[in-house]
Amino acid sequence: MAKEYIELEPGNEYGVISLNKTVFSTIAQNVIEEDENVQIAQGTKPFKTGIVTKVDDNKLTLSIPVKVNHKANVSDVCLNLQNKIFESISYMTDFKPEAIEIQVTGFIF
C-alpha cells in the first residue's frame, strides 16, 4: 500500500524520523529550476507541479515530466538531471531513491 511518507533508518529509543513525499518533490523541483535547459511541465490541477512521487514499501519513485530546450541534447540533459536529483535527495535526506523517471513532454523554443 502506498504511503505519504518514508521512514528513515535506523530508528532509536527516541523514535523514527519520517519524511513526507512532498519533501522529495520539492527537492526535485528546486534542481529543475536551477537548470536553464529544462523546465517542469505543469500538472493539470491548479497549484500542483507535474511531479508524481510514490512511496511503496519504503521505496521512493519519482516521475517527472519536463520540457527541454530545443537546442540541447535531450539524452545528456535528462541523464544530467537524473544524476543531480539523485545526488541532491541523497545529500539532503540521506535516502536513495529507487527510480527517477524523466519524461520529455515537449520542447522550449
58 found inside a domain: yes
Quick check: pTM over 0.85? yes
- Assigned domain for 2 exists: no
Residue-level pLDDT at 18? 87
* pLDDT, average across residues 10-31: 87
In a domain, residue 56? The reply is: yes
| Bridge pairing between strands 99-108 and 52-56 | unpaired
pLDDT recorded at residue 46: 56
Give the count of domains, the chain: 1
Q: Which domain holds residue 89?
A: 17-108
Distance CA 14, CA 31 (A): 33
Residue 102 falls within a domain, yes or no? yes
Considering the domain boundaries, does residue 93 fall inside one?
Answer: yes
Mean local confidence (pLDDT), 84-102: 95
- pLDDT reading at 65 higher than 60: yes
Q: Give me the CATH number covering residue 30.
A: 3.30.70.1350
pLDDT, average across residues 69-83: 96
Would 6 be classed as within a structural domain? no
Q: Is the pLDDT confidence value at 10 over 70? A: no
pLDDT (0 to 100) of residue 27: 96
What is the structure's pLDDT at 94? 87
In this structure, is residue 24 part of a structural domain? yes
Cis peptide before 46 (omega within 30 of 0): no
CA angle 44, 4, 80 (to 5 degrees): 65
Whether 49 is in a domain gets the answer: yes
pLDDT at residue 36 is higher than 70: yes
What CA–CA distance (Å, rounded) separates 7 from 79? 28
